[in-house]
Amino acid sequence: MGEEFYCVLKLVSGEEIFSLISVDESNEDTIIILQNPVIIKMIESYEKSYIKIKPWIELSSDDIFIMRLDKIITMTESRDEKLIEVYNEYLTGDSINTYKPSGKVDISDKMGYISSVEDARKKLENLYKGLKES
């Protein structure tokens, strides 16, 4: 069995996966051994770029998969340290910047808190009464 390396694979199904792989050429059929394969997508916004990572096979409890070489269109070794770091953080669960798909945002001091609802209601009532009297 060959040495392990990080790799991006394009499959005949159209999927692009990222995984730590090793190649076994001991039999007449070459097989690829994938460890913790994931699908990585780039999401662009007007401010930043985000990386979305999800398991390649979501309902499996296994983390090692075997694939024949005829299922792969192309593969390339990845030496991108940031991508490898994000991948390893995902596997260990140490990711600190997680996207919350529910749309909920944590409250911070930078959100522009001006007053309470009650204070705002009183100010608006006074403004309305002042305009009505004029």
pLDDT digits (tens, 9 = 90+) for 89-112: 888 876 555 555 556 667 666 666
Nearest CA to 70 among 41, 28, 37? 28
Residue 121 confidence (pLDDT) above 80: yes
5-99: in CATH 2.30.110.10: no
Question: What would the pLDDT profile of 67-79 be if each residue is shown by its tens digit?
Answer: 988 899 999 998 8
